Structure 1
Amino acid sequence: MRTGDEAILEVCDLVKHYPLTQGILIKRQVGSVRAVDGVSFGLRRGETLGVVGESGCGKSTLAKLLVHLERPTSGSIRFKGEDITRLSGRALKAVRRNIQMVFQDPYTSLNPRMTVGDIIGEPFEIHPEAAPKGDRRKRVRELLDVVGLDPGYVNRYPHQFSGGQRQRIGIARGLALNPEIIICDEPVSALDVSVQAQVVNLLERLQDEFHLSYVFIAHDLSVVRHISDRVAVMYLGRLAETGTDGQIYEHPTHPYTQALLSAVPVPDPRARDRRERILLSGDVPSPAHPPSGCRFRTRCWKAQEVCARDVPPLDVPEWFREGGGPAAHPSACHFAAERQVVPPEPVGPGEP
């Protein structure tokens, strides 16, 4: 896929804290859940940014913030240079047309009382300028055809479809208003492996056809690598490491990224036997009481006193800047070091 240099979406120091309260008649705040705590990244036109991390790290909250389903505690989200966190009313409605979302669960994200035609055509009721009233049924049929479904299914209900077909309906709904950005919140995690491949290939084809930009959130690192141009690894509300797919998967420098990669299933038995497994100790800390300094330090084998005292910046480590190379990418670790988790396959006799 071809990406441009123009940043269509810029996120700067995005924060979302949910208050924790006590009391029945008089409620007082006693703390907060730091779901997203200072996330910054950019998304270029035509690019796919993959976001990976464990459950509870804040990925879905980040997705809701990007489509303005949640209001941030602080920080900014700029779409084409305009801070959309400050918008409301008609101005926000206009921006929402250009940033759509595909949800994780294809079963609960579709209204069971509405036909497929009504579900896909509902955005036209909110944004009537997107399609004239007389052409909406035709447009719905075209969208069904685009995502690989029979246009004749327009009068069927969601319960008459499989999980993969329902997700295609959700993608068609996301495409209805011709958006520029689609936020994909784990769109394949509830699907079978074979269906996952079909949906991912569909998303790639639609990206080329409609010049879309994606923020693709997932647990499965192999799926993220297949579709992403750049990858952001998230841990407990913050980004731990960012880079191109080759930098993250072949030259990881953050201990958390290395631990994640060591757990990815490897289809080749020879590579699987030579893979170095990294087992983390302890549980993921509560986002209501995150560790001081580096949030990964309570599970990290490299942790030292400085890790508890200072928050490591998400930047290219000093010792990688001069030499450059694939290891020179942002990593939020005081002791970032390249580590090959899965060694390359040995070259056999007679092979180049």
Structure 2
Amino acid sequence: MTANGEPILEVEGLVKHYPLTRGVLFKKQIGAVRAVDGVDFALGRGETLGIVGESGCGKSTVARLLCSLERPTAGSVRFKGEDITRLSGRALKAVRRNIQMVFQDPYTSLNPRMTVGDIVGEPYEIHPEAAPKGDRRRRVRELLDVVGLDPDYVNRYPHQFSGGQRQRIGIARGLALRPEVIVADEPVSALDVSVQAQVINLLARLQTEFDLSYVFIAHDLSIVRHISDRIAVMYLGRIVETGRDAEIYDHPTHPYTQALLSAVPVPDPDARERRERIILGGDVPSPTDIPSGCRFRTRCWKARERCALEVPALAVPDVFREGGGPAAHDSACHFAEERRVVPPEDPGGPEAPQATVNGNGPG
């Protein structure tokens, strides 16, 4: 169950491993890139789930799996109770009409040889039952108007538009079939800050207008907060913390989430001086050689012997289970502890100390 009732999309034990092979004629698998390694979440109707994490954590792979652009190694993706990972042919085509994707790069996701009208109307060629042939041009013009573009632009080509306008074209294409779920894979990361705000506001308006559910993927936590109802933090192929937006931002309990939040820019100069800065040491481990136990332990200042032996479960930590409150949300840490990284905006408050983490112990 989600906060919005029965989920429209359920992901259980999702795994995607890319095999590493050696040899030309007789290929032998010598390992695997564990891009996604056991992901679980649910998406409610009309809800926005934000997935955040560093580059290489598996966010975009999850997006492709949700849209059936790739087949998972294991696990299930259920849309309205039906496992779409087992579908093919016409059955899969029918489901894809209800789960559309907005891609990250507006410069490469649009065919430069096609006009805007052909790009936005292409879904009608693949799903002709969605719109009568004589009505498609009118619908394309309506979609351009909905996303804030002049309907007369239908005969222009992608190179004649700015980055923000191109992303609006991509959003219009995603809306063409009236889907119920849109997977947005870092849709504003390639745009200027001012344009990012416009696109985020557009997505928020369209969610209400079209009754959409979003899976919004990004690496910028400040952007995710503005649009998400719930947030899932990913690290090295797994979700390490998940909860409502206020729970994650104001009451983080996982060390990795706390480190990410400490890097979010703070506009207020006074609050910026009082904030706590957590600097992680070392590099992200290779997805071909995952650490034993907790996969964050090689960079965590709380790491103990137990962390190397036991994989922490994604659940409400025992220390918060009885008392409840905003800290009582799922966190995959043996030593979960609530920690306010950015202090309240109180000019008279004490100055927060800097914390430097070297991955071996307290900084």
- Map Cα deviations across residues 262-316 of structure 1 (whole Å, 9 max, x no partner): 0111000000000011011100000010101100000000001110111000000
For 1:1-352, what aligned pairs fall within 5 Å after superposition?
Answer: 4-346=4-346
| Amino acid of the structure 2 residue aligned with 1:212 | L
Deviation at 1:345, TM superposition (A): 1.3
- Contact kept, 8 Å, 2:271 with 2:346, in 1: the verdict is no
Deviation at 1:4, TM superposition (A): 3.0
- Unaligned ranges ≥5, structure 2: 349-363
| Amino acid of the structure 1 residue aligned with 2:22 | Q
- Map Cα deviations across residues 131-179 of structure 1 (whole Å, 9 max, x no partner): 0000000000000000000000000000000000000000000000000
- Contact kept, 8 Å, 2:5 with 2:45, in 1: the verdict is yes
Deviation at 1:99, TM superposition (A): 0.1
Deviation at 1:63, TM superposition (A): 0.2
Q: Which residue of 1 aligns with 2:356?
A: none
- Map Cα deviations across residues 186-209 of structure 1 (whole Å, 9 max, x no partner): 000000000000000000000000
Alpha-carbon distance between aligned partners in 1 of 2:261 and 2:87, rounded to the nearest angstrom: 39
Point out 4+ residue stretches in structure 1 off by more than 4 angstroms. none
Alpha-carbon distance between aligned partners in 2 of 1:193 and 1:164, rounded to the nearest angstrom: 10
Helix, strand or coil at the partner of 2:4: coil
Q: Which residue of 1 aligns with 2:354?
A: none
- Contact kept, 8 Å, 2:121 with 2:137, in 1: the verdict is yes
| Amino acid of the structure 1 residue aligned with 2:155 | N
Deviation at 1:24, TM superposition (A): 1.4
Alpha-carbon distance between aligned partners in 2 of 1:178 and 1:345, rounded to the nearest angstrom: 42
Alpha-carbon distance between aligned partners in 1 of 2:105 and 2:87, rounded to the nearest angstrom: 29
TM-score by length of 2: 0.95
Alpha-carbon distance between aligned partners in 2 of 1:36 and 1:232, rounded to the nearest angstrom: 14
- Map Cα deviations across residues 308-329 of structure 1 (whole Å, 9 max, x no partner): 1110000000111110000000
Alpha-carbon distance between aligned partners in 2 of 1:321 and 1:210, rounded to the nearest angstrom: 38
Helix, strand or coil at the partner of 1:252: coil
- Contact kept, 8 Å, 2:270 with 2:347, in 1: the verdict is no
Alpha-carbon distance between aligned partners in 2 of 1:281 and 1:105, rounded to the nearest angstrom: 30
- Unaligned ranges ≥5, structure 1: none
Alpha-carbon distance between aligned partners in 2 of 1:87 and 1:157, rounded to the nearest angstrom: 35
Helix, strand or coil at the partner of 2:15: strand
- Contact kept, 8 Å, 2:10 with 2:77, in 1: the verdict is yes
Helix, strand or coil at the partner of 1:306: helix
Deviation at 1:224, TM superposition (A): 0.1
Deviation at 1:347, TM superposition (A): 6.9
